[in-house]
A and B are shown apart, each in its own frame.
Chain A
């Protein structure tokens, strides 16, 4: 029996009811949202349920929506059921002033660095992460560069000392 989006949706609604919402299927991939406190429960259920078996964490990243008040930061999980070859996308939203989200490192070893990367660029504070420090940026950086309020450097600026870059 192949696993369809309807079956996944049915299973999740049976278990979580109204706590999982915003069902959508952009380009065929089932997408849904849950309250951020439930992320571990939903992921654990997706992992353990004998029908669902979403055991492979493909990707974890964050998105910043400055206009959504109270839920500015989205954390997006892409999960893959390798047995039936089905992918789903699971989102949680969090307040930018209190971006605390439970860490999934206990469930997926792969989440370790992905969460560090997400922290590094968006400042999501993963509770329970064993080593939540910056990974790609310099340790002494004091802001989260992928947030939308930080623009790219002006391409035409002239105040830089070109000699430092080997030009004159």
Chain B
């Protein structure tokens, strides 16, 4: 038998090492995004996990310091790209607060419809992926066609599907078409049945429950200390929701429930997201009813009357002097910006999406910081997975709903 020691150079102490180091990612089918996890394994148990993020960092905060407000909207699309309309609206709402723009009620309700659709599509991806990672592919395939329908609604409104760049400061770029409302009605009618079916597949499924109950739990106290927000925090039992605590876009006109869990494990996170989808459905229905109640001229309103911030209609630009002037000023970034600083947050699909905006009166923000919920709660991953099985670590990751775009900013 030849002496292997002569030919193969083993690292020092490698034979004494009791644990295995495993690289998950940066591109791995079970990581759902470009990020790396270096997991230290003892058998199949996770001893520690070290995360590397930043693979798709695009320096949005730096770019935003050199762009007029309306050019920052497409940057926000690319944060949490599973629900870009919420990011867009959050950004518009931040600018409107800074500029003291008051939006009409109809705009608020239309925004709520769009934001809740985005929330559904985001939670849908997350929950169905949790299913896939626990071995149940059916749900994922079954509900995907309704995400498609949501994307078609976006398409009717703004022309794009994933990175939507939807709306403007003060409202929307155009009124919703009849086709958009028809598609929305179809969604409202068919979606509850689909969601019910989806729940039937999972909620009391023995295998699914065994795979998720008690997996990746976090206590309310630790979750708060880790800066959790959104469904992940609510699954731990804290009923914090920006829509209730600091309402925006007329959420105070609506009656809805904030579901909370108790153990903060994967199963609770799954249930909280499911229930939030039901609540979103209810909100959409209510908002649509309120939108239909507007009669006459009011039913045509789709933006606030703020010519100095809202880009005028193209045909007015060619025919009216005033519109031409405003168009020029807005496009060249010459609008009057108040000096000040503001922190404005919306309830993103993953949690509190905040914009910290410092304006020095210039054409671009002096400083713009995005509070990206994913980035903040991902640091708890190591604590969540410690001592569990490797396969549980995978489910924990998907049930946290980590979106690489939001993490890297």
Binding site for B on A (CB under 8 A): 26-27, 29, 31, 55-59, 61, 63-64, 76, 78, 82, 85, 87, 89, 108-110, 112-114, 117, 121, 134-137, 145-146, 150, 152
Closest to A27 in B: B342
* Interface of chain B residues 318 through 350 with chain A (CB within 8 A): 340-343, 345
Tell me whether A29 and B343 are in contact (CB under 8 A).
yes
CA distance A61 to B345 in the complex (A): 15
Known: A61-B369, A135-B54; 15 extra A-B contacts, CB below 8 A, are: A26-B342, A59-B354, A59-B356, A59-B369, A82-B224, A85-B246, A89-B341, A108-B225, A109-B379, A113-B379, A135-B53, A137-B57, A146-B61, A152-B62, A152-B63
**Which of B227, B245, B367 is within 8 Å of A57, CB to CB?**
B227
Binding site for A on B (CB under 8 A): 53-54, 57, 59, 61-63, 66, 97-98, 222, 224-227, 238, 240, 245-246, 340-343, 345, 352, 354, 356, 358, 366-367, 369, 371, 375-376, 378-380, 408-409
Consensus secondary structure, chain A interface: mixed
CA distance A64 to B368 in the complex (A): 12
A31 → chain B closest CB, angstroms: 8
**Which of B222, B354, B367, B376 is within 8 Å of A63, CB to CB?**
B367
Count of A-B contacts judged by CB separation below 8 Å: 86
Give the most central of B59, B352, B369, B379: most A CB within 10 Å: B369
Tell me whether B227 and A56 are in contact (CB under 8 A).
yes
Tell me whether B340 and A59 are in contact (CB under 8 A).
no
For B341, list chain A residues within 8 Å (CB): 26-27, 31, 89
CA distance A61 to B358 in the complex (A): 12
Closest to A112 in B: B379
Task: Given A108-B227, A137-B54, answer yes or no on A113-B61 (Cβ-Cβ < 8 Å).
Answer: no
CA distance A136 to B227 in the complex (A): 19
20 A-B pairs (CB sep. < 8 Å): A26-B341, A27-B98, A27-B340, A27-B341, A31-B341, A58-B345, A61-B367, A82-B240, A85-B245, A85-B246, A89-B343, A109-B222, A109-B227, A110-B226, A113-B375, A113-B378, A113-B379, A114-B227, A136-B57, A136-B408
Tell me whether A109 and B356 are in contact (CB under 8 A).
no
For B98, list chain A residues within 8 Å (CB): 27
For A136, list chain B residues within 8 Å (CB): 53-54, 57, 408-409
Q: Which 7 A-B pairs have the closest CB atoms?
A: A110-B227, A136-B54, A61-B369, A136-B57, A59-B371, A27-B342, A113-B379
A61 → chain B closest CB, angstroms: 4
CA distance A31 to B224 in the complex (A): 23
CA distance A158 to B63 in the complex (A): 20
For B54, list chain A residues within 8 Å (CB): 134-137
Task: Given A26-B341, A87-B343, answer yes or no on A113-B376 (Cβ-Cβ < 8 Å).
Answer: yes
Task: Given A112-B379, A113-B376, answer yes or no on A58-B227 (Cβ-Cβ < 8 Å).
Answer: yes
Closest to B352 in A: A58
Tell me whether A27 and B226 are in contact (CB under 8 A).
no
For A76, list chain B residues within 8 Å (CB): 356
